[in-house]
Amino acid sequence: MEGLLHFGQTALGMIRDVLPIAAILIGFQLFILRRPIHNPMRVGVGLIMVLLGLALFLEGLELALFPLGRLMANQLTAPSFLFGPGADAVAAFEWSDYLWVYLFAGAIGFATTVAEPALIAVSIKANQVSGGTITVNGLRFAVAVGVALGVSLGAFRIVTGTPLHWYIITGYVVVIFQTAIAPRAIIPLAYDSGGVTTSTVTVPLVAALGLGLAETIPGRSALLDGFGLIAFASLFPMITVMAYAQISEWRTRRARAQQR
Amino acid sequence: MTKLLLQFLRSLRQSFQDLLPIILVISFFQIVVLQQPVPQFGQILVGGVMVLLGLSLFVQGLQLALFPLGEEMAYNFVRKGNLWLLLLFAFTLGFGTTVAEPALIAIAGEASIIAAEGGVIENVEAARESYATGLRLVVALAVGIALLVGVIRILKGWPVQYLIIGGYIGVVIMTAFAPKEIIGIAYDSGGVTTSTVTVPLVAALGIGLAGSIRGRDPLIDGFGLIAFASLTPMIFVMAYGMFF
């Protein structure tokens, strides 16, 4: 009963979030474009499905994934796990003491990105628009690998305490270099995929990991170091998506050369 | 009816595949690495089923409503041929969807606490609130302007990389001058503005525009709006931190 009430609250919250969007769309369509909405029944049913789906999705995440993910992030960064039972504070440590943390960061970054609804939406569109040359799963895989690399490198940065901006600036230089040589058609999509990855599923878990790390390692501040992980997660997908296009172009060229 | 049901079952299976990596990662770390039992297994199972159903419904609804709606509106704007109305629409969509974004409200609240503790503003309720509201308006303005510029870019057919790389150079320069406390928040606010409902709509709008204008390629010109929307807030938030 309590769960049902909570779900009702989530659904209400969802409606409140979507109301301004719906008002803008309907307002412009009816009063400025002065056109009736095409197939209003279908659009109405679809909108309700989107709303209900998102409410269920978020509520389910809150029940199943987030508490467990946060708990695991805390356990993995706890001194008693890293340095054996009895250790309750981090004293001297090497970056290599945190290997499981990097691995977890990468794995959870990859897995949550694959399930990210906004990325699924963009992949479906990219697949339609490219006439099938960009596959839905290929793009999602490329983005997920990027997030995985980004988040585990971000965890490494928090552990070592190296400055955030050197990593980010180096990343941008790589992006600029790749932009010059990657196939032209992939570039806008690659830039977009940086923005869509950091959404409903990935952010809460990645943020929990970053805060867990920053709180247990001496000399790190949760405010200054905990935040940077998201920036990593939106930078690296650009690099991997362009790399994905470069690799598939290279493979088609090689296949063609072999045929001759 | 059976066709619809079959389609839904297929989409359920697809959603299950999408969620499988999370299940594998969590169980591997929980059982092999941490060697701890999974707490509250029943609750997790219920939540999992809800996530599965929710994702399937969302993806189906996307194809039924959000994609066609976004594309149709883009097409109608092009047919109407009024540039100012299109730009007004782009700005309103960006501003309106961002100002009410819950993730942004949360971040703005946190940022005001940081600013108060850092002595940037007075540590009283009213000052914090006005700082948070100001931050929200600035980010919403940034996203509105991003969509506006992005739409002009589609109409003109400018290559996306010059604008984006120029923007990132701006971010790097601003980072050097902005107060240290605001940088993390600025970088994060770029990511949170693009929500799950806005992304498909904005993507469909861009692709619809590029598709209805002759000489524009949907793949090259249609994408890129989301990249703008996650870039401009970083610059605007850092500027906000410098001047307030």
pTM, full prediction: 0.86
**CB-CB neighbors (< 8 A) of A77 in chain B:** none
Q: What mean pLDDT value characterizes chain B?
A: 85
Same domain, A165 and A143: yes
pLDDT one-digit tens code per residue, B26-60: 888 888 887 777 777 888 889 889 989 999 998 88
pLDDT value at A14 more than 90: no
Contact A243, A207 (CB under 8 A): no
pLDDT one-digit tens code per residue, A57-81: 888 888 888 888 778 877 887 777 7
Closest CA–CA distance from residue B126 to any residue of chain A (Å):
23
pLDDT value at A13 more than 90: no
pLDDT at residue A1, rounded to an integer: 58
What residue of B is the nearest CA neighbor of A141? B18
pLDDT value at B151 more than 90: yes
Rounded Cα gap, residues B77 and B212, in angstroms: 10
Tokens of A15: 């409606």
Banded model confidence at residue A223, pLDDT cuts 50, 70, 90: low
Whole-angstrom distance between the N-terminal and C-terminal Cα of chain B? 59
Same domain, A38 and A156: no
- For residue A173, the number of C-alpha atoms closer than 13 Å in the C-beta half-sphere is 6
Same domain, A226 and A165: yes
pLDDT at residue B153, rounded to an integer: 92
Same domain, A152 and A112: yes
Q: Which of A33, A64, A95 is the last residue of a domain?
A: A64
User: Pick from B18, B25, B60: which is nearest to A107 by CB?
Assistant: B25
Same domain, A58 and A102: no
Rounded Cα gap, residues A216 and A81, in angstroms: 12
pLDDT value at B97 more than 70: yes
Q: Could A111 and B60 be called an inter-chain contact, meaning their C-beta atoms sit closer than 8 Å? A: no
Q: What mean pLDDT value characterizes chain A?
A: 82
User: Pick from A38, A69, A200: which is nearest to B196 by CB?
Assistant: A200
Contact A127, A119 (CB under 8 A): no
pLDDT value at B214 more than 90: no
What phi and psi, each to the nearest 5 degrees, are found at residue A201? Answer: -90, -45
In total, chain B counts a number of residues equal to: 244
Contact A61, A67 (CB under 8 A): no
Per-residue burial over B22-34, b = 16 or more CB atoms within 10 Å of its CB, e = otherwise: beebbeebbeeeb
Banded model confidence at residue A222, pLDDT cuts 50, 70, 90: low
Same domain, A55 and A155: no
Share of chain B above pLDDT 90, in %: 14
Same domain, A55 and A85: no
Rounded Cα gap, residues A73 and A81, in angstroms: 11
**CB-CB neighbors (< 8 A) of A100 in chain B:** 29, 33
Q: Which of A64, A87, A103 is the last residue of a domain?
A: A64
Rounded Cα gap, residues A21 and B201, in angstroms: 10
Q: Which of A21, A37, A64 is the last residue of a domain?
A: A64
Q: Is residue A144 part of a domain?
A: yes
Amino acid sitting at position B239: A
Same domain, A136 and A236: yes
Q: What is the mean pLDDT of residues B3-30?
A: 85
pLDDT value at A90 more than 70: no
Q: Is residue A226 part of a domain?
A: yes
* A112 or A32: which leads in pLDDT: A112
Same domain, A19 and A56: yes
Q: What angle do CA B2, B3, B8 make, to 5 degrees?
A: 95
Question: What is the tally of structural domains in chain A?
Answer: 2
Q: Is residue A70 part of a domain?
A: no
pLDDT at residue A227, rounded to an integer: 66
User: Pick from B44, B165, B223: which is nearest to A189 by CB?
Assistant: B223
Contact B152, B216 (CB under 8 A): no
Sign of CA dihedral A53, A59, A65, A70: positive
Computed over its alpha carbons, how large is the radius of gyration of chain A?
A: 22
What range does the domain containing A167 cover? 78-259
Same domain, A59 and A88: no
pLDDT value at A85 more than 70: no
Q: Could A230 and B188 be called an inter-chain contact, meaning their C-beta atoms sit closer than 8 Å? A: yes
3-state secondary structure A144-169: HHHHHHHHHHHHHHHHHCCCHHHHHH
Same domain, A96 and A41: no
Whole-angstrom distance between the N-terminal and C-terminal Cα of chain A? 69
What residue spans define the domains of chain B? 1-64, 82-243
Residue B242 contacts A where some CB pair is shorter than 8 Å: no
**CB-CB neighbors (< 8 A) of A125 in chain B:** 67, 200, 203-204, 207
**In chain B, how many H helices and how many E strands?**
10, 0
Give the count of beta carbons closer than 10 Å to the beta carbon of residue A147. 33
**In chain A, how many H helices and how many E strands?**
12, 0
Rounded to 10°, the helix A99-114/A136-160 angle is: 150
Same domain, A170 and A232: yes
Q: What is the mean pLDDT of residues B152-162?
A: 89
Q: What is the mean pLDDT of residues B182-189?
A: 78
User: Pick from B51, B194, B199: which is nearest to A64 by CB?
Assistant: B51
Q: Could A52 and B57 be called an inter-chain contact, meaning their C-beta atoms sit closer than 8 Å? A: yes
Q: Give the three-state DSSP class for B224.
A: coil
Task: Report in angstroms the alpha-carbon separations of A144 from A17, A147, A234.
Answer: 27, 5, 11
pLDDT one-digit tens code per residue, B126-136: 888 888 888 88
